[in-house]
Amino acid sequence: MGNDLSDLILRAQRGEKEAFGEIYNLFIKRIFRFVYFSVRDQALAQDLTQNTFLRAWRSIGQFSTKRGSFQAFLFTIARNLIIDHHRKKKELSLEKIGEFQTFENFEEDMTRQDEKRIVWQALAKLEERDKQLVVLRYFEELTFSEIGKILGKREGAVRVRVHRVLKKLKSHLGG
C-alpha cells in the first residue's frame, strides 16, 4: 500500500483528480470518524471532512514525505479545521463533548456494556487535546513521530504526553 499510496500522491501532485479520488476513498472513513469524534455532529463532520480533502488537494503540491507521512498530513489538516470550528463555537463545552448522547450508532450498545461504558466515560473526562492523542495513538494507530507532526511537537514530548494521559485515564477509572 505504501508504494501504491506514494504513486497516487505523485499523480495527484501532477493534478490527476482520479488519483486523488483513490486517496480520498482510502482515507475518508478515518478522517470522518476522527472529525466526528470531536464535533459529534454528522452534517458538520461531513463538511469538515470534505474541507479536509479540499485543503489537502490545494496543498498537495507542497507535501513531501521528508516532512512526514501522508496520513499525518491529512490528520493535521483535519485537526486544524476542528480547532477552527471549536474556536468559532465556543459554546461547545468539553462536558458536552464527553457525553455519549450524540453517538447515534453505538450509544445503545454502550450502555449495555458496562465495562466499555466506564472506559468511554473516563475518556470523555479528558481534555480535548488528550482525547485526540488517545484517538490518534490507539484508535488510528499512528506512530509517535506522526502524532508529533500533527501536534507540532517532538516525538519524545508526545511519548511523555501519552504516558501522562494514560495515567490520567487510570485515575479516572479508579485504578
Partner 1 sequence: MDIEEKIKKIKKDYILIRPREGFLAQAWFDLKEELDAKPKPVFMFRPVLARGLVFSSILALVLGGAFFSVAWAAQRAIPGDRLYPIKRISENLIFKISGNEESLIDRRGQEVIDLYKGKKDSDLLEKAISDYEKAVLEAQEEVEEKGERQGFRQILEKQEAKFKEIIENNPSSKDNLEKAIEASKKGRVENDQVQGVREEDQRGKGRGMEKEKERENSPGPNPGRR
Which chain residues interact with partner 1 by CB under 8 A?
17, 20-21, 24-25, 28-29, 32-33, 36-37, 42, 45-46, 49-50, 53-54, 57-58, 103, 105-106, 109-110, 115-116, 119-120, 123, 134-135, 138-139, 166, 169-170, 173, 175
Query: Long-range contacts of range 15-22, CB-CB < 8 Å, 24 or more positions apart?
Result: 20/53, 20/57, 20/60
CB of 140 to partner 1, least distance (A): 9
Residue whose C-alpha cell is 473516563: 122
- In the complex with partner 1, the residue whose CB is nearer, 14 or 17, is 17
Residue placing its CB nearer to partner 1 in the complex, 57 or 63: 57
Is 128:86 a contact under the CB 8 Å cutoff?
yes
What distances in angstroms separate CA 85 from CA 63, 88, 91, 106, 129, one per listed residue?
24, 5, 11, 24, 14
Beta carbon nearer to partner 1, 52 or 66: 52
Pick 63 or 103: Cβ nearer partner 1:
103
